[in-house]
């Protein structure tokens, strides 16, 4: 198809040239130029050709005259790019003195002034030269105000001045003039200051900008939601906030855990239990089952029964065994509490299990064993070896109930003993 179009175009050009040549051959036209004693008579065709040649010569002469200036400009631009590249490399390497020197030179180029000043502020801040950093940010704000504002807020946050960063960013947030980095700094500052409304606003703006990776945005959202739920002043505000969240956010284990803890602290243990149990029916979460055992002593007997129902599906979960041990301790079921906690120590000898076992021993009025358990919790935290409980002729703990059927990648059933995990 392209070949036919090319041939058709060439044919049209040839026809136009032949037709034009016939017209010019019949009447080439005449041009007469008079200026003082000068008098030039020629044909129109020659005059057009002469004008084209003259125009080409003038263009060539103009480029020739401008060549030194163009060469100097190109060299200056190349030197500017080399200097800012060297400055940014030195900044990444931590050589802030050399970075400041190279960036100062690069800032003399108008097109590089804003990025050079922003990088200068970062280098000066890293060296502890706060006054120089602020001066560089003032210069950068003339060409890149949003970037300078975000960087200024970041410096305030690094100095622990979240309240000042929040005051700095809020006016621009109200007018929607913040960059994605500015919205991120606003979310961090509001989170530290407990201004959850501002942090939620910043999160919504970040979601619309699509400037952050989904994983990073999700992690920040979990932090904001967790803080907002944990700081709810009363049950009414807590329930309003929880009901107003989208279903996707309410399904996050971290958010459910924060809601359940705060609800239990405000006396709504049944609501906390309901949220955790509903979530565990959909998907198992060690985080949520641990929180389930930390909701206080209210309805502990009911929670023991429901948690024991989950043992069939999760017999090797140390968090479930920890929760059961704590709940049985609260229900004064000392024997069952000790059994669950010791079984959990078989699978995961961690500090939380030793501490819970210490609480159980203290409640049973066995202070010697409680002291050993508490010491073991501290030793595990320090990475040291633990000490066995001083009990006479204890039989080995029977963990056969904790063995479950597992299948290989080929679907062949196999028994996995606790020691294999």
Per-residue pLDDT of the chain (421 residues; tens, 9 = 90+): 678 788 888 888 878 777 766 666 666 677 777 777 777 777 766 777 778 888 888 888 887 777 777 777 677 778 888 888 999 899 999 999 999 999 988 888 888 889 999 999 999 999 999 899 999 999 999 989 999 999 999 999 999 999 999 999 999 888 888 899 999 999 999 999 988 888 888 888 888 887 778 888 888 888 888 898 988 889 999 999 898 888 888 888 999 999 999 999 999 999 999 999 999 999 999 999 999 999 988 899 999 999 999 988 888 899 999 999 999 999 999 889 999 999 999 998 899 999 999 999 998 888 899 999 999 999 998 989 888 886 543 444 444 444 444 545 444 445 444 444 3
Please tell me whether residue 33 adopts helix, strand or coil conformation.
strand
CA max distance for the chain: 135
Q: Are 118 and 140 in contact (CB under 8 A)?
A: yes
Give the CA dihedral 112, 113, 115, 118, nearest 10 degrees.
160
One-character DSSP codes across 176-240: T---HHHHHHHHHHHHHHT-HHHHHHHHHHHHHHT-S-HHHHHHHHHHHHHHHHHT-SSHHHHHH
Contacts 24+ apart (CB under 8 A), 101-104: none
Strands 38-42 and 404-407, by their bridges, are unpaired
User: Which residues does 226 contact at the CB level (< 8 Å), separation at least 6?
Assistant: 254, 255, 257, 258
Helix, strand, coil fractions of the chain, as percent rounded to 5? 75, 5, 25
| Nearest CA among 339, 345, 397 for reference residue 376 | 345
3-state secondary structure of 406: strand
pTM above 0.85, yes or no: no
Distance CA 79, CA 105 (A): 9
């Amino acid at each position: 198809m392209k070949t036919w179009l090319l041939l058709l175009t060439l044919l049209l050009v040839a026809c136009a040239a032949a037709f034009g040549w016939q017209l010019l051959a019949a009447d080439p036209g005449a041009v007469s130029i008079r200026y003082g004693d000068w008098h030039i008579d020629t044909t129109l065709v020659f005059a057009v050709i002469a004008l084209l040649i003259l125009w080409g010569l003038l263009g060539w002469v103009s480029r020739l005259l401008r060549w030194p200036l163009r060469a100097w400009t190109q060299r200056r631009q190349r030197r500017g790019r080399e200097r800012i590249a060297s400055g940014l490399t030195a900044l990444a390497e931590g050589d802030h003195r050399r970075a400041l020197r190279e960036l100062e030179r690069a800032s003399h180029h108008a097109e590089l002034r804003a990025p050079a000043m922003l990088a200068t502020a970062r280098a000066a801040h890293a060296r502890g030269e706060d006054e120089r950093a602020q001066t560089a940010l003032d210069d950068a704000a003339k060409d890149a105000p949003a970037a300078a504002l975000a960087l200024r807020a970041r410096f305030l946050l690094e100095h622990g001045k979240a309240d000042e960063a929040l005051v700095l960013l809020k006016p621009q947030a109200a007018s929607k003039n913040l960059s994605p980095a500015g919205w991120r700094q606003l979310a961090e500052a509001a989170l530290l200051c407990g201004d959850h409304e501002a942090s939620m606003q910043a999160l919504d703006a970040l979601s619309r900008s699509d400037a952050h990776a989904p994983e990073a945005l999700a992690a920040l959202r979990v932090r904001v939601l967790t803080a907002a739920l944990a700081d709810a002043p009363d049950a009414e505000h807590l329930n309003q906030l929880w009901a107003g969240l989208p279903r996707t956010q309410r399904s996050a284990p971290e958010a459910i855990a924060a809601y359940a803890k705060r609800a239990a602290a405000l006396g709504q243990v049944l609501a906390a239990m309901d949220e955790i149990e509903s979530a565990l029916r959909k998907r198992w979460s060690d985080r949520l089952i641990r929180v389930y055992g930390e909701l206080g002593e209210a309805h502990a007997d009911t929670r023991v029964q429901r948690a024991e129902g989950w043992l069939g599906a999760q017999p090797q979960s140390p968090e479930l065994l920890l929760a059961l041990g704590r709940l049985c301790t609260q229900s004064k079921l000392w024997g069952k509490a000790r059994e669950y906690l010791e079984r959990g120590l078989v699978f995961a000898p961690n500090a939380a299990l030793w501490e819970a076992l210490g609480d159980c021993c203290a409640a049973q009025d066995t202070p010697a064993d409680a002291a050993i358990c508490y010491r073991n919790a501290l030793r595990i935290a320090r990475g040291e070896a633990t000490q066995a409980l001083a009990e006479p002729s204890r039989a080995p703990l029977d963990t056969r109930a904790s063995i479950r059927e597992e299948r290989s990648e080929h679907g062949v059933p196999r028994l996995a003993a606790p020691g294999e995990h």
